[in-house]
A and B are shown apart, each in its own frame.
Chain A
Amino acid sequence: MLVLLLGIVILHVAALVLLLVSTIFSAWVVNPNSSSDLWNNCTTINNVDRCDSADTGVWIQAVQALMILSIIFSFIALVLFFCQLFTLQKGGRFFITGAFQIFASLFVMSGAIIYTVMNTMWVPETLWFYGFSYVLAWVAFPLAFISGLIYVILRKRE
C-alpha cells in the first residue's frame, strides 16, 4: 500500500511539475532564432535577446487561464489527497481528490487544444515548430488523467 501511495504521489507531483514547466518556459513555439510562449515572444537578433509581451487576444488569454487553473486544481488535489489520507475511513475512495485531478487534466487538455487550433492568430507566419513546453503540456494531460483515475479507483487500506 505504501509503495502504491508513494507511486501515485510521485505521479501527481510529476504532472504538477510538468504543468508548471510548460506554463512558465518560453518554448511553446520555437524556430532557430525566436521562441514564444503564453506570456512572451522572444527573438534573438545578432545575439541580442528581445522579449515583447505576447499578443493580448482573447484565445491566448483563455489558454493562459486554463493552464493556471489546471495548476491550481492539481495543487488543490495534492493538498486534498494528504487531507483525505488521514481523514478517510478504511475502504473509502479518494473521490474529491480524483475529481480535482481529472478537472486539472481536462483544463490542460482544453488549453492545449485551443493553442493548437488558434495559434495562427498570434504566432508569426514563419517557419516554426512546437517547442518542448507544448509537448510537456500534452504529456501532463494523460499523467494527470491517469493519476486522477487511480485516485477514484483506489481504496484506502491500512
Chain B
Amino acid sequence: MLSVLALTSVVLLGIVSQTTAIVVYTSWEKHALVGTDVRLSCSFFSWQWTSPDVTFSWQYRADGAKEGISIFHFAGGAPYQDSKGPFRDRLEFVGNPSRRDGSILIKNVDFGDNGTFTCDAKNPPDIAGHPSSVRLLVFEKVPVQAGVITGAIIGVVLGLLILIVAIYYLMRFLVARRVFSLSMSKHGKKGKGKEGSQQKQASAVMDPAKLKAAASEKKKQESRREKK
C-alpha cells in the first residue's frame, strides 16, 4: 500500500514537474578586476532530455539603464553575437550546450561593464521558466569581503585548538598503549620464556620506533640492575 502510494506520488511529481518548468541557474553576483576576463556561467535544469534545439540568450542591462539589450543568442547549434553593442568583439561562447552549459566569457572588462546580465535558456518542448540574472561588479582591486578575515582568524585559532587537543589525546593514547604492550611483554616473558623475547626482537627489527623503545627499556633495566 505504502509503496503504491509512493510510486503514484513519484509519478504525479514527475508529471507535474514535466509540465512546469525549466529552471535557469546563474551565480548571484560576480566580481572581476579591471582588464581581466570574466566567465559568466549559466546552466539549466529540466526534466526533458537535452534537446538539439536548446537555446541560450544573454541580455545586458547597464547600471542605471532602463532597458536591457540582447548581446548573445545560441540557437540551432550555432552562437550569434551582437555586432554593435559594448561587447561586440569581447564576447566568446565557452559553454557546452549538450551539457546544458551556456556560459559566456567577457574579455577585458572595464568599469563601464558594471550591470546585470540575464541568462534565459529554453529546452524545447520545455520552455516555461524564468530567466536568471547575475550582477557583474568590476573593481580596481578585489575588496575584502565582510567577515572573511573574521571567519579566517576564528577558524584558524579554533582549528589550532582542536589540533592541539587531538594531538594531546593521540599522544596519551599512544603512550598508554606502549605501557600496556610493555607490561604485556613482561608478563609474556614470565610465562613463555624465550619465545616471547624472540617475538619482541622480531617486531623490534620491523619497527624502528619500537626499536628505540626497546633500547631505552633495556637501558632502564640495566640501570635498575646496577642500582640493585
Whether A and B are associated in the same complex: the answer reads: yes
Q: For A68, what are the chain B residues with a Cβ–Cβ distance below 8 Å?
A: 150, 154
Interface of A (DSSP majority class)? helix
Kindly state the interface size class of chain B when it binds its partner.
10 to 19
Q: Are B150 and A61 in contact (CB under 8 A)?
A: yes
Q: Are A61 and B148 in contact (CB under 8 A)?
A: yes
Please report the C-alpha to C-alpha distance between residue A64 and residue B146 in the assembled complex, in whole angstroms. 11
Q: Are B149 and A53 in contact (CB under 8 A)?
A: no
Q: For B3, what are the chain A residues with a Cβ–Cβ distance below 8 Å?
A: none
A57 at the interface (CB under 8 A from B): yes
Nearest CB in chain B to that of A59: its residue: B149
A65 at the interface (CB under 8 A from B): yes
Nearest CB in chain A to that of B146: its residue: A56
Interface residues of A in 55-82 (CB under 8 A from B): 56-58, 61-62, 64-66, 68-69, 72
Q: Are A61 and B158 in contact (CB under 8 A)?
A: no
Q: For A62, what are the chain B residues with a Cβ–Cβ distance below 8 Å?
A: 149-150, 153
Q: Are B157 and A61 in contact (CB under 8 A)?
A: no
Nearest CB in chain A to that of B148: its residue: A61
Please report the C-alpha to C-alpha distance between residue A68 and residue B153 in the assembled complex, in whole angstroms. 10
Q: Are B144 and A57 in contact (CB under 8 A)?
A: yes
B140-182 CB mask vs A (1 if < 8 Å, else 0) is 0001111111111110011000000000000000000000000
Nearest CB in chain A to that of B154: its residue: A65
Interface of B (DSSP majority class)? helix
Count contacts between A and B, CB distance < 8 Å. 36
Interface residues of B in 56-72 (CB under 8 A from A): none
Q: Are A66 and B153 in contact (CB under 8 A)?
A: yes
Q: For A65, what are the chain B residues with a Cβ–Cβ distance below 8 Å?
A: 149-154, 157
Q: For B149, what are the chain A residues with a Cβ–Cβ distance below 8 Å?
A: 58, 61-62, 65
Q: Are B146 and A69 in contact (CB under 8 A)?
A: no
Please report the C-alpha to C-alpha distance between residue A68 and residue B151 in the assembled complex, in whole angstroms. 10
Q: For B152, what are the chain A residues with a Cβ–Cβ distance below 8 Å?
A: 65
Interface residues of A in 37-95 (CB under 8 A from B): 53, 56-58, 61-62, 64-66, 68-69, 72
How many whole Å from A152's CB to the nearest CB in chain B? 18
Q: For A58, what are the chain B residues with a Cβ–Cβ distance below 8 Å?
A: 144, 149
Q: Are B150 and A64 in contact (CB under 8 A)?
A: yes
B153: contacting residue among A56, A57, A69, CB under 8 A: A69
Please report the C-alpha to C-alpha distance between residue A72 and residue B152 in the assembled complex, in whole angstroms. 15
Q: For B153, what are the chain A residues with a Cβ–Cβ distance below 8 Å?
A: 61-62, 65-66, 69
Interface residues of B in 119-151 (CB under 8 A from A): 143-151
Q: Are B154 and A61 in contact (CB under 8 A)?
A: no
Please report the C-alpha to C-alpha distance between residue A53 and residue B146 in the assembled complex, in whole angstroms. 9
Q: For B145, what are the chain A residues with a Cβ–Cβ distance below 8 Å?
A: 56
Q: For A69, what are the chain B residues with a Cβ–Cβ distance below 8 Å?
A: 153-154, 157-158
Nearest CB in chain A to that of B152: its residue: A65
Nearest CB in chain A to that of B149: its residue: A61
Please report the C-alpha to C-alpha distance between residue A56 and residue B154 in the assembled complex, in whole angstroms. 16
Known: A62-B153, A66-B153. A72 touches B158 (CB 8 A): yes
How many whole Å from A107's CB to the nearest CB in chain B? 8
Nearest CB in chain A to that of B153: its residue: A65
Nearest CB in chain A to that of B158: its residue: A72
Nearest CB in chain B to that of A65: its residue: B153
Nearest 4 A-B pairs (CB), nearest first? A65-B153, A61-B149, A56-B146, A65-B150
List the interface of chain A (C-beta within 8 A of B): 53, 56-58, 61-62, 64-66, 68-69, 72
17 intermolecular pairs with C-beta atoms under 8 Å apart: A56-B146, A56-B147, A58-B144, A58-B149, A61-B147, A61-B148, A61-B150, A61-B153, A62-B149, A62-B150, A64-B150, A65-B149, A65-B151, A65-B157, A66-B153, A68-B150, A69-B153
